[in-house]
Amino acid sequence: MPQSPRGHEDRDRLGFDETRDYLGTAVGALLPAPLVARGLTIAVETDREVYAPGDPVAVRVAIRNRLPVPIAVSTPSRRLWGWEVDGALEASEEPRRDPGGSGTLSFRARERKTHEWTWDGRVTRRDGRRTRSTPLSRGDHEIRAFVATRRERPAARTTIRVE
């Protein structure tokens, strides 16, 4: 930020940062948590609908604040959002430790956050003490993305076919 001759950051005449919506932030903070969660939309999509066993799958998740005010969504752990394949978190049946703490997913008014990655098309499974990674079996499989809120968890699903 440009500096004034006295060494202070330039701000508007009342001392506020001009790029921040203070009124919108105040209104968003007053909204009840269930309304904030309903204000989110989530979408999940893949690059194709049909794959061969073991093919990589390009996945895209978009989470959007539909509300005209900034919001902050609280989560009971540090996990803010997640994805599953046929109910297996991050395509793994291995037990997960909760790192503790809590988290906050913040959005500006009508902001959309997207995350894209390529999943290897395999699921990690446990057979007793042994863990192995196997390609998805032939048939339909559900990929689900969600915001990790305690209640009213916004989620979206898509189905892929392995042939």
Are the C-beta atoms of 141 and 50 separated by less than 8 Å?
no
Residue 13 forms part of a structural domain = no
CA angle (58, 105, 39) in 5-degree steps: 90
Instruction: Tell me the whole-structure pTM to 2 decimals.
Output: 0.78
pLDDT tens by residue, 58-116: 999 999 999 988 888 888 888 899 999 999 999 998 877 777 788 888 898 899 999 99
Residue 1 forms part of a structural domain = no
Residue 138 clears pLDDT 50, i.e. is over it: yes
* Residue 43, burial from CB neighbour count under 10 angstroms (0-12, 13-18, 19+): middle
Residue 9 forms part of a structural domain = no
Residue 11 forms part of a structural domain = no
Residue 103 forms part of a structural domain = yes
pLDDT of residue 1: 43
